[in-house]
Amino acid sequence: MTDPRIALAERVASADGVSPLNEASRIAIAAGEVARVDEVVRDGDDVVGAAYAAGDSPVELYVDPARRRNGTGRALLEELLRRGERQFWAHGDLPAARSLARTAGLEPVRTLLVLERDATTPLPAERDVEGVTIRTWQDADAAGLVAVNARAFASHPEQGAMDDADLRARMGQSWFDPQGLFVAERAGEVVGFHWTKIDPPTADGGEVGEVYVVGVDPSEQGRGLGKALTLRGLHHLTSSGVRRIDLYVEGDNTPALATYRGLGFSEAARDVLYAV
């Protein structure tokens, strides 16, 4: 039986074109984690609103499309603010979410861009980096990948917190394919990685690939390894037959944006973090 919070999220995603829950929240709900915020609003037996946040993550709040414009979202938001919650994701940054945030006195403090490219658009040839081998995942890479990830995303509030348990939880998802996880190795040490993902076919047909995570050890930055890893993953996704490739990138990450736009990516959507 589908968890009612997930079922509500699916109804919201169907109506809005964007999921109100990120992957980390979905994994946490499926695992039965005890969350910091875990609220549901019921109308009889029906769940018509929910708010969820695991660990120190911002709150994700969403309301059944058929029950909107009756104050459910506003009441839930005001209650969470009263309890001391200060940060809220607006996935897709839809007009209704912007309006609710504005009336509650919340301000945008972070933007996560969703970029996409047509997978049929030709890619530049792959490139080598002197002294570095790029290969597919091996189980012995786990500790090295987690360590590189921590250094590469030291200032990133979500990705930088990935530990071995988080890594294994992600690898336990139905979409995980070890042939789509590429590891860069120098002198026997992991120095970077590109984790790709292929989502199930969309309603309009065709699979969608994703640049899930690209991480490069700070000691290797400036040598072209990030672009080499990105190209390896993009060529893999293209050869897998996906019709589109998506990725998420911080809105203020100017170097990454320049790289991705140079590879044919353009903005498709954005998630905005609102805070008091």
Residue in 97, 93, 27 with CA at minimum distance from that of residue 57: 27
For residues 40 and 1, give the distance between their C-alpha atoms in angstroms, rounded to a whole number.
17
Domain ranges of the chain: 4-105, 116-270
What does DSSP say about strands 244-250 and 107-118: parallel, antiparallel, or unpaired? antiparallel
Task: State both tokens at 3.
Answer: 């968890």
Is 32 marked as binding a ligand? no
CA distance 1 to 205: 27
85 is known to lie in a ligand binding site: no
Q: Is 173 annotated as a binding residue?
A: no
Alpha helix ranges (H) inside 112-221: 142-152, 164-171
Q: Is 248 annotated as a binding residue?
A: yes
pLDDT digits (tens, 9 = 90+) for 63-120: 999 999 999 999 999 999 999 999 999 999 999 999 999 999 999 999 999 999 999 9
Is there a binding annotation on residue 234?
no
Residue 127 counted as an annotated binding residue:
no
216 marked as part of a ligand binding site: yes
- Average per-residue pLDDT for the chain: 95
Q: Is the pLDDT of residue 199 over 90?
A: no
pLDDT band at 254 (very low <50, low <70, confident <90, very high): very high
Q: Does 132 carry a binding-site annotation?
A: no
**What's the confidence (pLDDT) of residue 255?**
86
More confident residue, 208 or 1: 208
Distance CA 143, CA 113 (A): 29
In CATH terms, is domain 4-105 a member of 3.30.930.10? no
Q: Which fold has domain 116-270?
A: Aminopeptidase (3.40.630)
Q: If you write DSSP's letter for every residue of 37-54 in order, what string do you get? A: EEEEEEETTEEEEEEEE-
**What percent of the chain shows pLDDT beyond 90?**
92
Instruction: Outline where the chain has alpha helix (H).
Output: 4-16, 23-31, 72-82, 95-103, 142-152, 164-171, 225-239, 254-262
Does 260 count as an annotated binding residue? Answer: no
114 is in an annotated binding site: no
The verdict on whether residue 225 carries a ligand-binding annotation is: yes
Residue 222 labeled ligand binder: yes
Answer yes or no: is 226 a known binding residue.
yes
pLDDT per residue as tens digits for the range 142-171: 999 999 999 999 988 889 889 999 999 999
Lowest mean pLDDT among 145-149, 155-159, 176-180, 225-229: 155-159
Binding site annotation covers 224?
yes
How far is it between the farthest Cα atoms of the chain? 64
